[in-house]
Chains A and B, each alone.
Chain A
Amino acid sequence: MTLRLLLLSAVLLPWLTGCVNATVDQMVFNSPTAGIGDASVVILGRRHASDYETEPGFIRCVGGHIEARDPSIRVIDELEFLNALYPWFEPRTAPLRPTDLEKLFEHRDVAEKFAALQTRYMIWIDGSTVRGDSAGSMTCGIGPGGAGCFGFGTWSDDASYEATIWDFTQRAEVGRISATASGQSYMPAVVLPIPIIAPVQGTACDSVGDQLLEFLSHTP
């Protein structure tokens, strides 16, 4: 009986997730006239704010989402790109406007690196996922007979990200996408805590990734 309960829990637990609300806004200034062909895309996190930082994991998630759904699009890994062009894309030195790229390309070595990478679009993502209100309490104990928890906890997560697309050939911003997501997670505990997590960041990643994919895969 106990074994059956454990097996049932093991099957059902991964499916227990909280609800997430997501909103996506897209504002494209300059739609591409064709797919990106052999060119590559780089997705970078903005890290200028003092009180938060765009998570490297989120950048990897968006890149992975695009590559998984359209293998013809080559997404350059963020760290690989930053290392290949060190020190010009560190938070202190990264270009803030597309027009700053002109100044950067005055360095012959930098221009050559860009040409080798065949980068067509640079996508800057700025934002983070933050923990909001939390409530409830949980007590855990350990004794000679075993250990366990009792109580209930709940918290909310809010994600807000904005992606800005720069076109290298035009040296211009060609699109902007913003996505917000929020969700409530729960953790009831009767001996064993059962986390029911709302995949807020994952939903924001899928939302941004889908919109970018639509932009990058565009064909006339």
Chain B
Amino acid sequence: MSGSMTTAPERGHWLAALALVCLLAGCGTKQVVVESEFPDPVMNPLPLTLGIWYDDDFANHEFFDEASGRAESSWLVNTGQAQVELWHTLLRGMFRDVVFMNGKPGPGQMNPLVDAVLLPTVDELQYAIPAHTNVKVYEIWMRYRFQLVTLGGEPIAEWTMPAYGKTPTAFMQSDEGAVRLAAIVALRDAGAHFATTFTRVPQVEAWLNSLPRAGGQTQVTP
């Protein structure tokens, strides 16, 4: 007889095993890798050459939330690739020139000549799904910390900035898919927030005014 032939009780065992696997899979770690392309910003670029330095934690940023009970799932949300994509696209549109640094700015570090170097970090990331809140939206909240420093590593400005994204529940959409969409909305919000407030950060504004060539031509905010 062919190996593919099974009797009814054997088929029952297989179905029971399949059901068990499905149940166990439901309680495993839900992994979300956020990938997206982001649009170029529509704005007049600041007449500056900006250096960027992403540390490893930022470029490979991921968030892990361990399940608090047996009925819940752990979550692993990887935003690193999307973070780099967003900030690369946004900053290229906001500044006349953008240059990637060879190393973290500091005394003795050889880097290309730039006006200042931006060091972004993700301080915190939180998420909420309908199972947590009873509200039919998936939410992602992030807090960024930015440092603007000289080539020698001396601080020019340091500030934090929140970003928020949400997406509604939809028919046939998985939790992972919805969290991924919410993260993309949050990243777009981060870009919008940064682009419209950068020159209004008091320390940045003071620095821009101190540059002889800025001369009031650097306003990009509405």
10 smallest beta-carbon distances between A and B, as pairs: A144-B12, A87-B192, A83-B39, A90-B192, A86-B39, A53-B168, A109-B42, A87-B195, A144-B8, A93-B192
Q: Which residue of B lies closest to A54 (CB)?
A: B168
- A52 and B189 contacting across the interface, CB-CB below 8 Å: no
Taking the nearest CB of chain B, how far is it from the CB of A129, in angstroms? 9
The CB with the most chain B CB atoms within 10 A, among A91, A106, A113, is that of: A91
**Inter-chain contacts of A92 with B (CB < 8 A):** 189, 192-193, 196
Complexed CA–CA distance, A74 and B170 (Å) = 27
Given contacts A55-B168, A88-B192, 9 further A-B contacts (CB under 8 A): A86-B41, A87-B195, A88-B42, A88-B222, A90-B192, A92-B196, A104-B222, A110-B42, A144-B11
**Inter-chain contacts of B40 with A (CB < 8 A):** 86
B166 on the A face (CB < 8 A): yes
Instruction: Determine the interface band of chain B, counting residues with CB < 8 A from chain A.
Output: 20 to 34
A85 on the B face (CB < 8 A): yes
Which B residues are closer than 8 A to A by beta carbons? 8-9, 11-12, 15, 19, 38-44, 135-137, 166-168, 170, 188-189, 191-193, 195-196, 222
- B167 and A86 contacting across the interface, CB-CB below 8 Å: no
A-B interface pairs (CB < 8 A), number: 73
- A107 and B42 contacting across the interface, CB-CB below 8 Å: yes
- B188 and A142 contacting across the interface, CB-CB below 8 Å: no
Taking the nearest CB of chain B, how far is it from the CB of A81, in angstroms? 11
A97 on the B face (CB < 8 A): no
Can you list 11 A-B pairs with a CB-CB distance of less than 8 A?
A51-B137, A52-B135, A57-B170, A83-B39, A88-B222, A90-B189, A91-B189, A92-B193, A104-B222, A106-B222, A109-B43
**Inter-chain contacts of B189 with A (CB < 8 A):** 90-92
Choose among A87, A91, A131 the residue that contacts B191 (Cβ–Cβ < 8 A): A87
Instruction: List residues 62-101 of chain A with CB under 8 A from any CB of chain B.
Output: 82-88, 90-93
Complexed CA–CA distance, A88 and B137 (Å) = 23
Taking the nearest CB of chain B, how far is it from the CB of A90, in angstroms? 4
**Inter-chain contacts of A107 with B (CB < 8 A):** 42-44, 222
Choose among A47, A87, A109, A142 the residue that contacts B44 (Cβ–Cβ < 8 A): A109
- B170 and A55 contacting across the interface, CB-CB below 8 Å: yes
